[in-house]
Amino acid sequence: MPTFSGILHFVVTLFAVQSSTTINISIPAPNGSIQIPRNLIGFSLEQDRWVDWAGLDERNQFFFNVLDNMKAISGEPPIIRIGANSEDHTNFNPDVQSPQLVFPTPNAVTPFPEARTIVVGNAYYQAVRFLPPDTHVVWGVNFGAKNITAANLEARAIVEAFATPDVKDQGIILDAVEIGNEADLYRDNGQRPRNYTPAQYVEEWTEFATNVSTAIGITEDSHTKFWGASFATSSHANTNGFSPQSIFENGLLDSKAGSFISTITQHHYSGTFCSGGGKLLQDLMTKETIRSNLTSFASDAKAVRDQGLDFVMGETNSYSCHGAPGVSNSAGAALWTLDYALFSTQIQSSRIYFHEGIGFKYNFFQPIALNRSILDASPLPEPIPPHVQPQYYSAIIALEAIGSHPQPRIAELQIEESTVSGYAFYEDSQLVRAVFINLKAFLEGQEEERGKVHLKFDFVGGEVGEEVTLKRLDIAHADDTDGLTWGGQSYETSDGRVSGTLKTEKVKLSAGFDIRDTEVVLVSFS
Ligand SMILES: *[C@@H]1O[C@H](CO)[C@@H](O)[C@H](O)[C@H]1NC(C)=O
Ligand SMILES: *[C@@H]1O[C@H](CO)[C@@H](O)[C@H](O)[C@H]1NC(C)=O
Ligand SMILES: *[C@@H]1O[C@H](CO)[C@@H](O)[C@H](O)[C@H]1NC(C)=O
Ligand SMILES: *[C@@H]1O[C@H](CO)[C@@H](O)[C@H](O)[C@H]1NC(C)=O
Ligand SMILES: *[C@@H]1O[C@H](CO)[C@@H](O)[C@H](O)[C@H]1NC(C)=O
Ligand SMILES: *[C@@H]1O[C@H](CO)[C@@H](O)[C@H](O)[C@H]1NC(C)=O
């Protein structure tokens, strides 16, 4: 005869959409684990409006705070790359105090277009003093215009800015200079002839880099080096098209200036919103395509590492042309960001720089008040003050998972459930934390009950304490654009600082725990 609890169990399982999966976790750092930098996540800023981010005459305190929150967790501020598309449209005039910008008319597809004309002076570069102390910076100079005077004057202004006592005393350091952005697209945007080749690129790059290295003082012994490539896409091939491999083949590294390259950087977006069109949030939030988007660069990363150079994803985000409305700015995009950033370590990319521009849909934060909609350029009744967007939570979660140990390691966990990804984190070769991401989109207005997956564990090679602490990213719906909480706390505050009381759960490991659709759980082992 069935017992009452047996019937109850039957009834409950009938209505709850639940599956269960057991995950193997190695307690000592496994052979495949990878050392990662504590500041894995950096930012790439569209440089036309750089002083809106940093401040011109005084610090933009909101921007400072959101970076400083990250520094407080990892012990190191995020690295900031300043440049991108507008890098190749910037001219220099020593007499200019406030940057002179001319913008195209905003439209529904591009509510916040990049400036068409950009003229900057020394004050623009000196705004770097408003970054958090100890920030490392990568700055781009104009290569697209093929005007070596512009590149030379910009380089001189950059080196001067980093030499001012205000900047030096705060430990704000120039890691690298980038010469041109996405030169593989110059063929299409009119900055070079249609038949522009990697060989021509290498020749011109070498001429500019030789000049810029003299202006900046880049030598074998200098801390400052070059970032090379910065291509929009890669042919992944040695001979055809633009790729790290093809520019090596054409002698990029053979010149003296080429020997000053420390890092090869590749850009990538999962798709594009350049001519509008609908996008599906679940398409972005898919474990399998997050992996395939990144593994396509594994051969490039290997070719770069074989040369003894560092490889980074120097500019990336969800969908190019500033993101897709309702997708890139949503809570679901935060889950994409977290999985994408952590998985990038698995292709031997050391850091990942998420691209940001004023009013872009895929931003982690909007550092100034905006008076039109980021989704369709419609005027807002009242300006919306500076605020964080959902992706910011992913940066916080990634950094908390990595921790502040000087040499943290990461291993991806093999999980049979196709919508759940997970990573284990190690300190001194010992398991300390794991993070799990349930990428199944639970959408507003969805009729069926919110699903969940029960996670259980098999530990290999040692023991951990029976009790663990869980911290959850709580999201009401994947298509929400605000109202997220991380361990009960919010970063959606007027100053970008965290508010509310920290809420965690203690659970017995042997029982496992549930992760709901559209949720993140950070597990701290004891
Ligand atoms: C966990 O480890 C066991 C034993 O080595 C293996 O049979 C099983 O396939 C592993 N599970 C996963 C999800 O990798
Ligand atoms: C890890 O590497 C060591 C040394 O190469 C080897 O002895 C050991 O068997 C490897 N362990 C696993 C689980 O592959
Ligand atoms: C080259 O750059 C300099 C400095 O930015 C600028 O003054 C000059 O007009 C540019 N020349 C051309 C031909 O655009
Ligand atoms: C770099 O280019 C500028 C502008 O053409 C020129 O004045 C300067 O002499 C060049 N410097 C070197 C070291 O070639
Ligand atoms: C990248 O992800 C998108 C979904 O965001 C998918 O449509 C596309 O096919 C993926 N590309 C690769 C190379 O996996
Ligand atoms: C919006 O702000 C810009 C400056 O950022 C200003 O030029 C413009 O007039 C403002 N528009 C409205 C409708 O207030």
* CATH number of the CATH domain containing 295: 3.20.20.80
Among 382, 402, 422, identify where a domain stops. Answer: 402
Same-domain status, 261 and 299: yes
For a substitution probing ligand 4, which of 156, 177, 210, 211 has the most ligand atoms within 8 Å of its CB? Answer: 211
pLDDT of residue 15: 53
pLDDT of residue 483: 98
Q: By CB neighbour count within 10 A (0-12 exposed, 13-18 middle, 19+ buried), where does 27 fall?
A: middle
Structure tokens given for 313:
């994803």
- Distance, CA of 352 to CA of 469 (rounded, Å): 28
Same-domain status, 267 and 297: yes
pLDDT of residue 324: 97
The neighbouring-strand residues paired with 435 are 423, 522
pLDDT of residue 277: 86
pTM: 0.95
- Distance, CA of 172 to CA of 75 (rounded, Å): 15
Same-domain status, 358 and 421: no
Please report the DSSP string for 89-101 in residue order. Answer: GEEE-TT-SS-EE
* Alpha-carbon separation of residue 427 from 36, 38, 137, 352, 477 (angstroms): 11, 12, 27, 21, 34
Query: What are the helix (H) ranges across 329-422?
Result: 331-343, 391-402
Same-domain status, 238 and 275: yes
Residues of the chain with pLDDT under 70: 1-17
Tell me the per-residue pLDDT of 124-145, one tens digit each, with 9 for 90 and over: 999 999 999 999 999 999 999 9
Same-domain status, 397 and 425: no
- Distance, CA of 481 to CA of 466 (rounded, Å): 37
Spell out where 142-219 has E strands: 173-179
Ligand 1 center to 299 CA (angstroms): 28
Same-domain status, 136 and 16: no
Domain that holds residue 441: 4-33+408-525
Ligand 4 center to 152 CA (angstroms): 7
> Does any ligand 3 atom lie closer than 6 A to the CB of residue 120?
no
Same-domain status, 388 and 453: no
Among 402, 423, 457, identify where a domain stops. Answer: 402
- Distance, CA of 344 to CA of 525 (rounded, Å): 24
Same-domain status, 355 and 221: yes
Ligand nearest to the CA of 380: 6
CA 116 to chain centre: 25
> Cβ(338)–Cβ(520) under 8 Å?
yes
pLDDT of residue 250: 98
Question: How many other CB atoms are found less than 10 A from the CB of residue 526?
Answer: 11
Tell me the per-residue pLDDT of 202-238, one tens digit each, with 9 for 90 and over: 999 999 999 999 999 999 999 999 999 999 999 999 9
Among 385, 402, 419, identify where a domain stops. Answer: 402
Same-domain status, 193 and 289: yes
pLDDT of residue 11: 47
pLDDT of residue 240: 85
- Distance, CA of 255 to CA of 265 (rounded, Å): 19
pLDDT of residue 45: 99
Q: Residue 413: give its domain's CATH number.
A: 2.60.40.1180
pLDDT of residue 239: 87
Same-domain status, 75 and 28: no
Number of domains in the chain: 2
Please tell me the residue having the least CA distance from ligand 4 atom 9. 211
For a substitution probing ligand 3, which of 87, 89, 91 has the most ligand atoms within 8 Å of its CB? Answer: 91
Same-domain status, 82 and 29: no
Same-domain status, 299 and 242: yes
Ligand nearest to the CA of 461: 2
- Distance, CA of 300 to CA of 227 (rounded, Å): 15
